[in-house]
Structure 1
Amino acid sequence: MLDGFVPWPPDFAERYRRAGYWSGSSLGQLLAERAGQHPDKVAAVDATRRVSYAELVEESDRIAAGLLGLGIGRRDRVVLHLPNAIEFLSTIFALFKLGAIPVLALPGHRRDEILHLARASDAVAYIAQDRAQGFDYRTLAREVLGDAPSLKHVVIVGEAEEFTPLAGIARSDVRELPPVDSSEVALLLLSGGTTGVPKLIPRTHDDYAYNIFACARAVQLDGSGVYLAANPVPHNAALGCPGALGALLLGGKAVLAANPSPDHVFPLIEREGVTHTALVPALALLWAETAQFMPVDMTGMTVQVGSSKFSAGAAERVSKSLGCRILNVFGIGEGLITSTHPDDPPEIAFHTEGKPICPDDEIRIVDAEDNEVGVGVTGELLTRGPYTIRGYFAAPEHNSRAFTSDGFFRTGDLASMTEDGNIVIEGRLKDIIHHAGEKVSAEEVEGHVLTHPLVRDTAVVGIPDEARDERLCVFVVLSSDAEAAAEPITLRMIRDHIRDRGMATYKLPDELIVVPDLPRTPIGKIDKKALRAGQLQHS
C-alpha cells in the first residue's frame, strides 16, 4: 500500500466489496472493456480533434509505454497540468494503466501551487502544455525543477524545447503492462485548502469507479449520453461526478470545451448533442442570461449545479431560461455527493441539495460538541462511506482534526436534513471563498498579501456576488512605510504583487479596502463576520 495512504478498515472494505460498491476493476481496465465493446464509436472530442475508443486506448497505451521507458511506474506520482484536451484523457489513462498516480493540477495554477503539489506528493514528473492563454508552462517547469528535488522528468504537449515531448512518447511501442490492483490509489485530487495550501485527496480505483457510476445513475447518464466538460476537467465534478470519465466508462461521448463561455459552448451543445453537463452557479446564470439573445436548444439536457449554494430563485430562473433540467448537487473531492433527482418536485429540486447517492453513505449532523442534532436543525455535516476517504495523503496531524475517531470526515459545511432525508446546505465553517467557480483559501491569499511592504495586517473575505459566486475582498492595515511611499497602495499593486509571487489568477482579489485596524473577537481573532457584514451594508 502507498505510504501516506489511509485505507478503509478491513471490515468496512469487506462490506463494501460484498455490497458490490467496489468491483475490483481498475479505471484503465474499465476503459479497455468499453473500447472492446464498440471500438469505432467516438469517445472524445476537443477543440482540434475527435478520437474513437480504439484510438483513445491505443494512444494511452503508447503513452504508458513511453512513460515506463522514462522509469515512471507503479505508485510514482506525476503532476498532471493539462487543459481540456484529449491529451489529458489519454495521459491520465496511461498513468492509470501504469499504476502511477496523477496529481491533478488546475489550469490556473502557477509556480506557488505546482511547487507545493510536487513537494507534497514527492512527484517524479510534471506533464504540461507548452503554452495556453498566453502563459508559458515551460518557464514554470524550469522554475519548479530547481526547487522540487523529487522531479526528474518534464513532459510537454506541443513544443517541448529542452524537455520531453509527449508526441514522441506517444509513438512508443505498445507493451504488456502488469495488472493494477484496484484497491491502490488511482489519483490525487486537491482539497479546497482550508489551512493555506490544498491537501491531497487519495482516491482508489475502486472507490472512484463507484463514485463515477453512482453519480451516473443519479443523473441518468448512460452509454447514449454526451457529457460536456465545460469547466476544467481536472476538477472533481467535471472529471468523475460523473464527468468526462463517466461518459467514457459508460460508453458515451466526452466533449471537452476549451472554455465555458456561452459563445463557445452553445454551438458545441447543439453540434455534439450534449445531454449532460455541470456548472457553478455564476456560470449557470451567465448561460441563462446569454440564452436570451443567443438561443440554444438545451431541451432535455440535465445540468448539475454545485460548488456553492444555488438559490431557489436562481435555479428556477436558469431552468426556465435554458429549458433544461436542473439538479442541485453538493459534492466534495473527499467523497460524499448528494443530488436532487430529475423527477423531484420544485420544492425539493430548488430548495435542497438532495439525497446521498449511495445507500451506505452515513450522515451525521452535529453541534459543536459532536452531538447529533434533530431534523431541520443546522449543524456540521459529517460523513463516511464507500467512496469517502479515511484520511488525506501523508497528513497525519491534519487527519487527527479532520476525521473523528470512528472515521467520519468533518466536512466543515453547515447543513440540516429534511423529514424526507434531503440535505440542505446552510453555509460553511471553513474559511473558503467560492470565487468564479474555484475554491480559494483566504489564509493562502492573506499570506501572500502580508509580504507586501506597505501592508501591516490583512484579512480576506468573500462577499456574495451573483456574477462571481463571491467577490474576493481584501482588507489591509497599512504599514509605517506607507506614509513615505511614492504612491498610495492600490488594488492593482496588490494583484501584481501576489501574481508575481506565483499565485493563480483566480485567487487575485477583486476589491481592496484600506482600514485603520481589523475588528477582532474577544479571543483576539480577526472578526471576519463583522468585516463581511460591514461591507454588505456598503454594497
Structure 2
Amino acid sequence: MAGTTTRPRYPDWPGEYADRYRAEGLWRDETLCDVLSARAAEHGDRLALVAGETRLSYGDLAARVDRLAAGLQRTGIRRGDHVVVQLPNGAEFVETFFALLRLGAIAVLALPAHRRTEIAQFCAHTDAVAYIVADKHLGFDYRGLAAEISADLPRLRHVIVAGEPGRVGESHGFQRLDALYPPVDAGTAADALPSPPAASDVALLQLSGGSTGVPKLIPRRHEDYLCAIRESLDACPLDARSVFLGALPVAHNFPFVSPGILGAFHAGATVVLAHVPSPDVVFALIEAERVTITSAVPPLALTWLAAAASTDRDLSSLEVLQIGGAACGTELARRVGPELGATVQQVFGMAEGLINYTRLDDPQDVLVGTQGRPCSAADEIRIVDDAGSPVPQGSPGQLLTRGPYTVRGYFEPVRGDGGAADPSVPGSGSPADPNLTSFTDDGFYRTGDLAVLRPDGNLVVVGRAKEQINRGGEKISPDEVEGRLLAHPGIHDAAVVAVPDDALGERTCAFVIPRHGAPEPSQEDGTPPLAPRDVTRYLRRDGLAAYKIPDLVEIVDEFPVIGVGKISRAQLRRALAESRAAG
C-alpha cells in the first residue's frame, strides 16, 4: 500500500456522548502512559513484572520503557504510525507496548498464533511501518514469516526481532529489539521523547474475537480503554497486594484489560507472565510467586482442573480463577471451588467493549449459573428479536450494547484513491460492511450473542445467533447440549456443531473428549464408558428433548482451537466431513 495519502479512519463517539462520559468522570484526562509513570513515582521499588528470569520494579520498568521508546524513535517510528506487534508473553511485550504508547504510535496487537494471512492483512490494512516479532516461539520461526511479509509490502520499513535475527534477518536488514535500548549512561531517555499522547488519542488496535475470517481491527482510545480498566477494577479483586498471572496470550483483550495485566499495573499489583499455559508451568508459577488471581478460557480451565487433582504444587495462594473468552458452563463453574480451592469469577465480554463479571460475593446460583452483569452502570443493554424489537423479560434474544467503552465502529482501511480496500472490510459501504451490519443506527453494537437478562441484572448467555442449529425447524443451542454433556462423569470437554443434511437442513454432531481417570459408569451390555451410544443414552436419561439429542457422536482426543483458545467449530465440521467422505 505504498503511496497511500488518505489516513485510515477511527470511528468515534458522537459529541454528546463523549461530553456526557467526561462530565460523569467515566472518561478522564489520563493516558495509559500516565498509569505506569504514576505507579513508578508512587511505588518505584515495588515488584511490577516477573517474566522468566526477568524481575522488574515499577521504577525499572518505566525507565526501560523510556529507553526503548527513544530507540524506536531513532528508527523513525512517529506519532500516529501503526506498528504490528506479535510477541509472546514476556517482558519484551510489555516494554514494547508501553514504549509505542509513549511515542503516540499505535500498536496493532496480533496473537502469537496468527500466520501469514492475518499478519499480511494487518500490515496492509493499517499501512504499518514496522513489524515487531519474536525470533521463535513454540517451534515456529517468525523471521521467515516476516521476510515474506516485508517483501510484499514496501511501506513496512522495519522488522524488529526480539531475539536473534538469524541469517534470514541479517539478509533482510532486520533489527534486534535489545539493540534499540540506549545505554543507561547516555542521559535521560525521556528528555528526547516527544510530548505524551492525549487521552482522546487512539492508543491501540485490538482484534475482534470472531471465530471466522481475519479479525477486524478495533480502535481503542486511552480514555475509553482506561474507563474499562477502572470499571473492571470495581468488580474484580485486584489491589496492590495482588499477584496476577497472565497465562493466556496477554495481547488478547481478556487477559489484557479484564482487568488483566493493565488492570494489575493500574492497581500497583505484580504481574507474572507464563510463556505457555500448561499446568506444569502455571502451577509452578502459582507456587513460586504466590499468585492470587489468574484467568483461563473454558477448555484451559478444564485442563487445569484435571491436573490439579494430582499436582504436588502448593496452589493455596490462588484466590480467584476468572473464566472467560467464551461462556462458561454451569458444570465447569461449579467444579472450580471444590477442585482448585479458588472462587470462580465468570467474565463475559468482547474486545469491542462490554465486559460482564460475576462478583465474588454473589450467591452461588449467580456465580455458577450466569455470566454476570456489566461492570459499569453506564453500560446499556438490549435483548431483542430478529426484527430488533425487545423480547419479554426472561426470554432469550440477541444481545445489543452501548456504553462508554464499547466502540462505535471498526477501523476503516482505505486505499489511496479513496475507495475501500475490499467490500467485506469496515468502511466499504457494501452490504457486507461490518460497520453497517455490526452497529445499529443509534450506536448499539450487535454482539452476535443470544442471552437472557435476569430480573437481578445478570446475563445468561445461551449461545451465538449464528451458531444456533436449525434441525428441521427446531432450534438447538449448542451451549445447552454441551452443558448437559459436561455433567457426565466421563466427559472432559464437549463441542456441538451443525452438519448439513438433505432432509432436515442440519443435524447435530457432538465431539467429546473423555476425562482420563474418571469413574466409569456401569454398563449392562459391557460397552465402553464413552461409546457414542452411551453418550446419547445418558442425555436421554438426563431428560434432554429428543430433537436435541446429537445425531452423531465423535470421540476425540482434542479440539482444534483458534486465537486465545476458542474451539474452532469450523475445523470440527471440516474434520467430520473429511472423515465421512473417507469412510
Output the TM-score relative to the length of structure 1. Answer: 0.81
Map 1:19-418 onto structure 2 (within 5 A): 19-160=24-165, 161-162=169-170, 163-171=174-182, 174=189, 175-193=192-210, 196-295=213-312, 296-298=314-316, 301-394=319-412, 395-396=426-427, 397-418=433-454
For 1:512, which of 572, 575, 581 is the aligned residue?
575
For 1:419, which of 446, 450, 455 is the aligned residue?
455
Distance 1:235 1:505, change over 3 A: closer
Deviation at 1:193, TM superposition (A): 3.9
Deviation at 1:265, TM superposition (A): 0.9
Which range moved further: 179-188 or 360-369? Answer: 179-188
Deviation at 1:89, TM superposition (A): 0.4
Deviation at 1:149, TM superposition (A): 3.3
Do the aligned residues in 2 keep the contact of 1:228 with 1:274 (CA within 8 Å)?
yes
Deviation at 1:462, TM superposition (A): 8.8
C-alpha distance after superposition, 1:2-28 (max 9, x if no partner): 741011011100111111111211101
Question: Residues of 1 paired with 2:283 and 2:212: CA distance?
Answer: 38
Distance 1:71 1:14, change over 3 A: same
Stretches of structure 1 that go unaligned for 5 or more consecutive residues are 435-441, 443-458, 469-494, 519-539
Sequence identity percentage? 44
Do the aligned residues in 1 keep the contact of 2:290 with 2:317 (CA within 8 Å)?
no
Question: Residues of 2 paired with 1:421 and 1:281: CA distance?
Answer: 23
Alignment RMSD (CA, Å):
3.0
Distance 1:195 1:326, change over 3 A: closer
Do the aligned residues in 2 keep the contact of 1:282 with 1:467 (CA within 8 Å)?
no
Distance 1:342 1:37, change over 3 A: same
Which range moved further: 290-299 or 115-124? Answer: 290-299
Question: Residues of 2 paired with 1:49 and 1:195: CA distance?
Answer: 37
Do the aligned residues in 1 keep the contact of 2:164 with 2:176 (CA within 8 Å)?
yes
3-state secondary structure, aligned to 2:327: coil
2:15 corresponds to which residue? 10
C-alpha distance after superposition, 1:151-197 (max 9, x if no partner): 11001111124211111112265123212111111111111346622
Deviation at 1:335, TM superposition (A): 0.4
Deviation at 1:136, TM superposition (A): 1.2
Question: Residues of 2 paired with 1:30 and 1:2: CA distance?
Answer: 29
Question: Residues of 1 paired with 2:511 and 2:64: CA distance?
Answer: 44
Deviation at 1:221, TM superposition (A): 0.7
Distance 1:148 1:431, change over 3 A: farther
Number of equivalences: 466
CA radius of gyration, larger in: 2
Question: Residues of 1 paired with 2:18 and 2:509: CA distance?
Answer: 40
Question: Residues of 2 paired with 1:330 and 1:466: CA distance?
Answer: 24
Question: Residues of 2 paired with 1:9 and 1:16: CA distance?
Answer: 11
3-state secondary structure, aligned to 2:12: coil
3-state secondary structure, aligned to 1:513: helix
C-alpha distance after superposition, 1:83-134 (max 9, x if no partner): 1100100110001111111111111111111111111221110001111122
Do the aligned residues in 2 keep the contact of 1:219 with 1:302 (CA within 8 Å)?
no
One-letter identity of the residue aligned with 2:180: I
Question: Residues of 2 paired with 1:328 and 1:344: CA distance?
Answer: 11
Do the aligned residues in 1 keep the contact of 2:249 with 2:255 (CA within 8 Å)?
yes
Map 1:425-504 onto structure 2 (within 5 A): 425-430=461-466, 465=512
3-state secondary structure, aligned to 2:48: strand
One-letter identity of the residue aligned with 1:50: R
3-state secondary structure, aligned to 1:80: strand
3-state secondary structure, aligned to 1:103: strand
C-alpha distance after superposition, 1:375-408 (max 9, x if no partner): 1111100001000000000012320111000000
